[in-house]
């Protein structure tokens, strides 16, 4: 391969995705060309779901007759308006990232119509959300809130209990309530995406940065609720939130932090977005990765804009890996490293180009065979990274003179690894992935990170993301488990390590063809064994897909499941009728607990071959 990589010209016959002006979840105009190219690439390999349409729809909430359900829906329409309650009875469409469904998990692992809503409701205000919650209590119908519903790889917009009513908060509650330039903070409703917030900051010419994940289509509030991460120094999204407003499962309204104290003359408290903890127990944490409340407003700190310099460092040998981790640890603890850097395996230099596996490995483009190491080596040796094994992506921030000093320290530290090489953006061609990292690591949300989904046709992904200490020997154990099991189940391994000073997130992506029952079964089997084997060594996931929530929650079982018993006590006190997102994060309300809803062992795989993920009731 020589010269810049060229993709095929875009096929413009695909419908143009909506813009941000047209829809809260739309594409910013500056990214429309990228979006159309991405859509064409992804949709050109899309296949119909297999199996599709097994269940009668709309699927009913558990224990509710169709007659009672219809009556309850008519009542809800009467309260909210006919247009704001939609039955989920049309064919399910997976779409693609920028045109995602709010009816089911677009990256279904079990049948497409297993994890589905019975209906979707669109509240326009906090009182509407309270009305829905009270309605759910009256009819004992489970409800499931989403902000944007793009939670890709973790369940998307799907409810854990089939037949739940999904509350799509984002469609009508998408105001940027406030951006306070002096305090460098904002207050948002659920439907504000990273794209929207970024465009607004630019439009107002504010000297502020947002912090976004790899893709910008998610809700700032929703991502923080699920404890997602980004790549500037403000990358801990929940850690950077300040103040929440929450509808509790009984319909009452709560403000946390300084927001609990009224401001003068009925205004919001003036320090609501300035101080996180206020007085008394800190309650915010129980509303993230839980099912204890519906967050309708949330404050966030924003980073003052600054100079920045992204770079990559390549390392030649596979075995360098633990040593790299041990060098990162003190650099991160001393805050020489500006952000949480990523350490990736060289296979990703191929996948992030957006070219399929078939392109690199003709005849082997599916998950039938893993791409051999020598094929990766052959191609990498002709790319800017060269014939290496690991690639480190980092960014430094602040005054340019300080950045220069930091880069010298970093270069010197990594020179302990023979053959390491630092590359700056000007050292690589314009289409290289490093330029996308420059943007994401300075708070400019892009679409480029979708490129690797083109690796196999009709791809969906599932993420295994355990946490371990930042230590070479732990990194080796985790990597050893992951590498062994990926080989056993026959998937290409794309490791990304987000390495902080004391802990690291090992993110392993499982890419599978959504129409292949065999690949889905293997993906689920791999995930199940990864969770179990990592837990034996004390490594637990920081976040997981809905279907694996029970298994992951079960690994946090110290003291005879003390933590889960505590969560269940809270759940039963806050949500006595068990209506809010039952089963989310493995927390089941009394009404469902111990009645066969928990998914353990190989039940996900069994569900793929005709078994059910719901108990017979
Ligand atoms: P994304 O920002 O990726 O589109 P989602 O809106 O899908 O994220 O939210 C991710 C998950 O977080 C949801 O499945 C839901 O369980 C939870 N969640 C999202 N928004 C809220 C909210 N406003 N209140 C409570 N939980 C929420």
- Same domain, yes or no, for 203 and 313? no
In terms of pTM, does the model score above 0.75?
A: yes
- 298, 221 Cβ separation under 8 angstroms: yes
For a pLDDT cut of 70, what percent of the chain falls above it? 98
Q: Has residue 615 been placed in a domain?
A: no
pLDDT at site 1: 40
The CATH number that applies at residue 84 is: 3.30.43.10
Please give the Cα distance from 414 to 135 (Å, whole number): 60
SS (H, E, C) 258-311: HHHCCCHHHCCCCCCCCCCCCCCCCCHHHHCCCCCCEEEEEEEECEECCCEEEE
Instruction: Characterize 148-183 residue by residue with b for buried, 16 or more Cβ atoms within 10 angstroms of its Cβ, and e for exposed.
Output: bbbbbbbbbbbbbbbbbbbbbbbbbbbebeebbeeb
> CA torsion sign, 35 to 37 to 38 to 42?
positive
- Same domain, yes or no, for 438 and 371? yes
131-141 mean pLDDT: 98
Q: Has residue 50 been placed in a domain?
A: no
- Same domain, yes or no, for 384 and 433? yes
pLDDT at site 374: 97
Alpha-helical segments (H) within 58-187 = 66-80, 126-139
Instruction: Tell me the residue range of the domain where 266 lies.
Output: 176-304
- Which residues line the pocket of ligand 1, CB cutoff 6 A? 145-151, 157, 169, 190, 218-219, 221-223, 225-226, 294-295, 581, 584
Last residue of a domain, one of 548, 564, 584: 548
pLDDT at site 470: 98
State the catalytic residue, choosing from 134, 172, 227, 542.
542
The CATH number that applies at residue 292 is: 3.30.465.10
Reported as a single tens digit per residue, the pLDDT across 525-571 is 999 999 999 999 999 999 999 999 999 999 999 999 999 999 999 99
Reported as a single tens digit per residue, the pLDDT across 162-218 is 999 999 999 999 999 999 999 999 999 999 999 999 999 999 999 999 999 999 999
| CA torsion angle 510 514 517 522 (round to 10) | 0
- Same domain, yes or no, for 542 and 553? no
Reported as a single tens digit per residue, the pLDDT across 602-614 is 999 888 877 677 8
Q: Has residue 236 been placed in a domain?
A: yes
394-402 mean pLDDT: 97
- Ligand 1 mean position to 555 CA, how many Å? 23
pLDDT at site 51: 78
- Same domain, yes or no, for 317 and 464? yes
Q: Has residue 500 been placed in a domain?
A: yes
Please give the Cα distance from 173 to 24 (Å, whole number): 9
pLDDT at site 4: 55
- Same domain, yes or no, for 362 and 450? yes
pLDDT at site 616: 59
Q: Which long-range contacts (CB under 8 A, 24 or more apart) does 470-474 make?
A: 470/325, 470/328, 470/329, 470/332, 470/499, 470/500, 470/501, 470/502, 470/503, 470/504, 471/325, 471/326, 471/329, 472/321, 472/322, 472/323, 472/325, 472/326, 473/322, 474/539
Q: Has residue 60 been placed in a domain?
A: no
Ligand 1 atom at minimal distance to the Cα of residue 287: 25
Reported as a single tens digit per residue, the pLDDT across 425-468 is 999 999 999 999 999 999 999 998 899 999 999 999 999 999 99
315-322 mean pLDDT: 95
- Same domain, yes or no, for 370 and 513? yes
- Report helix, strand or coil for 86: strand
Average pLDDT taken over every residue of the chain: 95
- Same domain, yes or no, for 154 and 259? no
- Ligand 1 mean position to 223 CA, how many Å? 6
pLDDT at site 5: 67
Q: Has residue 58 been placed in a domain?
A: no
Q: Is it the case that residue 13 has pLDDT exceeding 90?
A: no
Closest CA to 160 of 617, 616, 613: 613
- Give the CA radius of gyration of the chain: 24
State the catalytic residue, choosing from 84, 97, 122, 154.
154
Q: Is it the case that residue 260 has pLDDT exceeding 70?
A: yes
- Same domain, yes or no, for 90 and 113? yes
pLDDT at site 608: 81
The CATH number that applies at residue 318 is: 3.40.462.10
Where does the pLDDT of residue 271 fall: very low under 50, low under 70, confident under 90, or very high at 90 and above?
very high
**542 catalytic, yes or no?**
yes
Q: How many independent structural domains does the chain possess?
A: 5
- Same domain, yes or no, for 318 and 409? yes
- More confident: 1 or 228: 228
- Same domain, yes or no, for 291 and 201? yes
Q: Has residue 141 been placed in a domain?
A: yes
- 225, 252 Cβ separation under 8 angstroms: no
pLDDT at site 614: 80
Q: Which residues pair with 499 in a beta bridge?
A: 504
- 353, 444 Cβ separation under 8 angstroms: no
Q: Has residue 492 been placed in a domain?
A: yes
- Strands 503-513 and 466-469 turn out to be antiparallel
- Report helix, strand or coil for 501: coil
- Same domain, yes or no, for 147 and 188? no
pLDDT at site 2: 39
């Amino acid at each position: 391969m020589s010269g810049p990589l060229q993709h095929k010209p875009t096929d413009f016959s695909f419908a143009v995705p909506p813009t941000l002006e047209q829809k809260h979840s739309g594409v910013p105009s500056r990214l429309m060309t990228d979006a159309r190219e991405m859509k064409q690439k992804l949709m050109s390999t899309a296949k119909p779901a297999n199996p599709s349409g097994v269940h009668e729809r709309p699927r009913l909430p558990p224990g509710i007759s169709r007659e009672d359900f219809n009556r309850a829906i008519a009542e809800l329409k009467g309260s909210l308006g006919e247009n704001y309650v939609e039955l989920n009875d049309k064919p399910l469409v997976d779409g693609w990232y920028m045109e995602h469904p709010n009816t089911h998990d677009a990256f279904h692992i079990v049948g497409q119509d297993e994890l589905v809503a019975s209906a979707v409701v669109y509240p326009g205000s906090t009182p509407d959300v309270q009305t829905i919650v009270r309605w759910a209590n009256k009819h004992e119908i489970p409800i499931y809130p989403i902000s944007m519903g793009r939670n890709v790889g973790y369940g998307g917009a799907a409810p854990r209990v089939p037949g739940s009513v999904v509350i799509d908060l984002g469609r009508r509650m998408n105001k940027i309530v406030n951006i306070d330039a002096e305090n460098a903070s904002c207050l948002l409703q659920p439907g504000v995406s990273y794209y929207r917030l970024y465009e607004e900051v630019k439009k107002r010419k504010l000297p502020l940065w947002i912090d976004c994940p790899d893709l910008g289509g998610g809700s700032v509030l929703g991502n923080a609720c699920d404890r997602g991460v980004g790549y500037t120094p403000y990358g801990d999204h929940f850690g950077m939130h300040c103040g929440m407003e929450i509808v509790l499962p009984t319909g009452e309204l709560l403000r946390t932090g300084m927001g609990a104290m009224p401001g003068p003359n009925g205004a919001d408290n003036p320090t609501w977005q300035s101080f996180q903890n206020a007085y008394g127990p800190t309650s915010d944490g129980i509303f993230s990765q839980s099912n204890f409340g519906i967050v309708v407003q949330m404050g966030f700190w924003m980073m003052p804009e600054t100079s920045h310099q992204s770079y990559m460092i390549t390392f030649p040998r596979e075995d360098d890996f633990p040593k790299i981790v041990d060098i990162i640890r003190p650099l991160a603890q001393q805050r020489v490293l500006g952000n949480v850097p990523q350490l990736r395996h060289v296979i990703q230099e191929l996948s992030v180009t957006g070219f399929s596996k078939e392109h690199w490995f003709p005849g082997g483009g599916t998950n039938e065979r893993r791409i051999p190491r020598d094929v990766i080596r052959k191609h990498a040796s002709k790319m800017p990274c060269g014939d290496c094994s690991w690639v480190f992506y980092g960014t430094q921030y602040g005054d340019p003179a300080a950045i220069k000093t930091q880069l010298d320290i970093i270069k010197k530290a990594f020179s302990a690894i023979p053959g390491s090489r630092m590359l700056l953006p000007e050292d690589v061609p314009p289409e290289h992935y490093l330029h996308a990292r420059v943007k994401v690591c300075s708070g400019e949300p892009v679409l480029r990170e979708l490129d690797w989904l083109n690796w196999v046709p009709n791809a969906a992904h599932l993420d295994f993301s355990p946490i371990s200490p930042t230590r070479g020997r732990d990194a080796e154990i985790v990597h050893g488990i992951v590498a062994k099991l990926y080989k056993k189940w026959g998937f290409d391994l794309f490791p990304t390590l987000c390495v902080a000073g004391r802990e690291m997130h090992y993110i392993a992506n499982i890419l599978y063809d959504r129409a292949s029952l065999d690949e889905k079964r293997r993906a689920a089997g791999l995930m199940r064994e990864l969770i179990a084997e990592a837990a034996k060594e004390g490594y637990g996931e920081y976040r997981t897909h809905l279907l694996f929530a029970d298994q992951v929650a079960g690994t946090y079982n110290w003291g005879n499941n003390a933590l889960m018993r505590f969560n269940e006590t809270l759940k039963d006190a806050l949500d006595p009728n068990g209506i809010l997102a039952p089963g989310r994060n493995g927390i089941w309300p009394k009404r469902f607990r111990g009645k066969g809803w928990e998914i353990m062992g190989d039940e996900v795989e069994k569900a793929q071959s005709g078994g059910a993920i719901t108990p017979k009731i």
